[in-house]
Amino acid sequence: MTSTPVTPTATTAAAETVSAAFPAAESADGTGLHGPVTDWFDEHARDLPWRRPEAGAWGVMVSEFMLQQTPVSRVLPVYEQWLARWPRPADLATEAPGEAVRAWGRLGYPRRALRLHAAASAIQERHGGDVPREHAQLLALPGVGEYTAAAVASFAYGQRHAVLDTNVRRVFARAVAGRQYPPNATTAAERKLARALLPADEDLAARWAAATMELGALVCTARGPECVRCPIAAQCAWRLAGSPAHEGPARRTQTYAGTDRQVRGKLLAVLREAVTPVPQTVLDAVWHEPVQRARALDGLVADGLVEPLAGGRYRLPLT
């Protein structure tokens, strides 16, 4: 993923490449796509709390951490509870990291909670409690990578950055590259394409970033694209090619039942509910297989999600 801003002149060569691969584009700057997609977004975008003006940059940042590999429906209740408890980074920074893990609930991938807590502490220490505007400053925060820095700069501050999540990558793969799915990992070619398609106008670029993401989430979905609802279906390279089946490496599928992830989740669930340290015997009861259970608990300790205490007791981390 990338978020490096580029000027219109810097994208000319890449845009010409895109135009050749996508002949329906009306001009090299991609206006043949921008208008239909952003107009569709204006009419069909979901009313999500992190898109409202009152969310602010902190609300956008919290949402971006929570939405990684997690559907909106699961994020919404946790997001609202989180912002009610910690409306500013400073509010979260004053709490123990374990409280962030506790409030994360069952969103999954709980290390995100620790990273968000670390980012809040850094925002308080380095930026006076305000989420920074500059991409480089965002990228320097703990737990913030290229995608999150670009997303916050774009969605919170209306800046011009290429925001490449799974949904956007899928839209570009189909509409421009003519493939059913993007590669399993983001490639340099995808970053180049995203920069080439990025509108020159800053405000339009921010809307484009949100609109392409929403289009992938609601219409150009992984399993059941609804081409009849797509504002660029008549221009889509994949559809025009007859919607050819995926020919690349097998798509990665996530499993959960019986995995270490499931065991970790069960262990954390006990610790989140506890108000005092939990003895080993209580944790032993959550999973029948002792080797896997021990491996999962050791992993939680190594990740900083669980703090071991004397006497074989465990708790969520205080520092």
Active-site positions read 64
Cβ-defined contacts of 291-296 (< 8 Å, 24+): 292/260, 292/263, 293/263, 293/267, 295/260, 296/260, 296/263, 296/264, 296/267
Q: Are strands 313-315 and 307-309 parallel, antiparallel or unpaired?
A: antiparallel
Given a contact cutoff of 8 angstroms between Cβ atoms, the answer to whether 168 and 213 are in contact is: yes
Q: Whole-angstrom Cα distance, residue 209 to residue 161?
A: 8
111-127 and 97-104 are packed helices; what angle lies between their axes, rounded to 10 degrees? 130
**For 283-292, which contacts have Cβ atoms below 8 Å and span 24 or more sequence positions?**
283/314, 287/263, 292/260, 292/263
Q: Which residue in this structure is represented by tokens 């670009």?
A: 150
Pairing of strands 278-279, 307-309: unpaired
Terminal alpha carbon distance of the chain: 31
What are the strands, taking DSSP E only, across the chain?
Answer: 278-279, 307-309, 313-315
Structure tokens at 227: 């081409």
